[in-house]
Structure formats: structure tokens, C-alpha cells
């Protein structure tokens, strides 16, 4: 069994959400961890687990980040992490895979399906064997109890329900 750990220095965990339905705010988590275990060299039987530290959320605006950590959204004091555990990793075609699993935010766990582009493997300058992945998907934030909403005076929605997920991940094979 091969075990891979995330190379956080060469990975990004970002999300995008519409603000006022006219522009997009991008955010990220800077504190996260992931493990991939697989028997097969092509990683087709990969089991993947991921966690992110809610207190590391960053949107480039301290006031907004504080609001996201509050009870209105993630309630980081009560639920300090979000997590994902895979249920399947299925080759679709070429380098495209489908990653299914259970995402837990706050105390709500729901199945999600993410698209994965497997970038392949490479040995770096330090002799570390790495695998690369670009992962994308969408979730409904309200399904996970992130239900805060507001309406402008003109009747516009302040924050969309749909959240786009984009992860660029390097995994390092453990000795």
C-alpha cells in the first residue's frame, strides 16, 4: 500500500462565491491536510481523506473572514474543521476521474461528487515522488447549514448559495 501526504507548499484550496450576483469573491484555506492511500500504481483504488482548518479561511478581507468564522457561517469556535472522506475514485476517460465522498461542514455530512484531472507523477529535485491533481466541483452552502443570507434594498441577493470549489493539489509519496 502506498501512502501519500499533501504538499501544502505546492497546493491551493480555494472557493468562489457570487457577491451581489454581479461579481465573484475568491477565498482559500491556508491550513489543510490530506492523505491518499492506494494499492494500484494508477491510483484507481485511491482512498482520500482531507481536512481544512476553518480558522485559516482567507478572502483578503479581515472583516469578511471574521464573519465567515462566526456563527452566521462556519461557527469555527464550535466546528473548527471541515472534512472530506472519499467513497470512490473512478476513472472517467484519459486523465479525468470522478471523486465521490462525504463532505462534513459544521455537523452536516452530505455526499458530493468532484471532477478530478490527474496531472500525473514526477520526482522532484529532492527525490520525492509526487502526484498532481486539479479538483473542481460545486456545493450548495445552505445544505451544510451555511444559511446566512441578506437582501439589498433593491432586492438583490448578497451571497449566492452555490459555492465553486477549486483545489490544485500535490501529494508526496511517503517512504
CATH of the domain at 95: 2.40.128.110
Who's near 52: CB < 8 A, 6+ residues apart? 13, 29, 31, 32, 81, 82, 83
pTM for this prediction: 0.91
pLDDT at 155: 56
pLDDT at 157: 52
Total count of domains within the chain: 1
- What is the per-residue pLDDT for 42? 79
Give which of 17, 100, 105, 94 is closest to 61, Cα–Cα. 17
- Separation in Å, CA 120 to CA 4, 48, 81, 85, 140: 14, 16, 29, 22, 30
Whole-number pLDDT of residue 98: 97
Q: What is the pLDDT of residue 18?
A: 83
Q: What is the pLDDT, as a whole number, of residue 150? A: 55
Beta strands in 94-158 (DSSP E): 96-105, 108-123, 129-140
What per-residue confidence (pLDDT) applies to 74? 94
Query: Pairing state of beta strands 47-53 and 12-19?
Result: unpaired
Please, what is the end-to-end C-alpha distance for the chain in angstroms?
A: 11
* pLDDT at residue 146 in the model: 83
> What is the pLDDT at residue 154?
58
> In the prediction, which pLDDT does 161 show?
86
In this prediction, residue 167 carries a pLDDT of: 97
Separation CA 166–CA 114 (nearest Å): 10
Alpha carbon distance 12, 52 (integer Å): 11
Domain containing residue 52: 2-173
**pLDDT recorded at residue 145:** 85
H or E, element range at 68:
helix 62-69
**pLDDT under 50: residue ranges of the chain:** none
Amino acid at each position: 500500500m502506498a501512502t501519500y501526504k499533501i504538499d501544502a507548499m505546492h497546493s491551493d484550496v480555494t472557493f468562489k462565491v457570487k457577491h451581489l450576483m454581479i461579481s465573484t469573491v475568491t477565498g482559500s484555506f491556508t491550513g489543510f491536510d490530506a492523505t491518499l492511500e492506494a494499492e494500484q500504481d494508477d491510483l484507481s483504488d485511491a482512498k482520500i481523506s482531507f481536512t481544512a482548518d476553518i480558522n485559516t479561511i482567507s478572502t483578503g478581507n479581515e472583516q469578511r473572514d471574521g464573519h465567515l468564522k462566526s456563527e452566521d457561517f462556519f461557527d469555527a469556535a464550535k466546528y473548527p474543521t471541515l472534512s472530506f472522506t472519499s467513497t470512490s475514485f473512478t476513472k472517467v476517460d484519459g486523465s479525468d476521474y470522478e471523486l465521490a465522498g462525504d463532505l462534513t461542514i459544521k455537523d452536516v455530512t452530505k455526499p458530493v461528487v468532484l471532477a478530478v484531472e490527474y496531472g500525473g507523477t514526477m520526482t522532484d529535485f529532492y527525490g520525492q515522488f509526487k502526484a498532481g491533481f486539479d479538483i473542481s466541483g460545486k456545493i450548495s452552502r445552505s445544505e451544510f447549514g451555511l444559511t446566512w443570507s441578506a437582501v439589498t434594498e433593491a432586492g438583490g441577493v448578497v451571497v449566492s448559495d452555490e459555492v465553486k470549489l477549486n483545489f490544485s493539489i500535490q501529494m508526496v509519496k511517503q517512504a
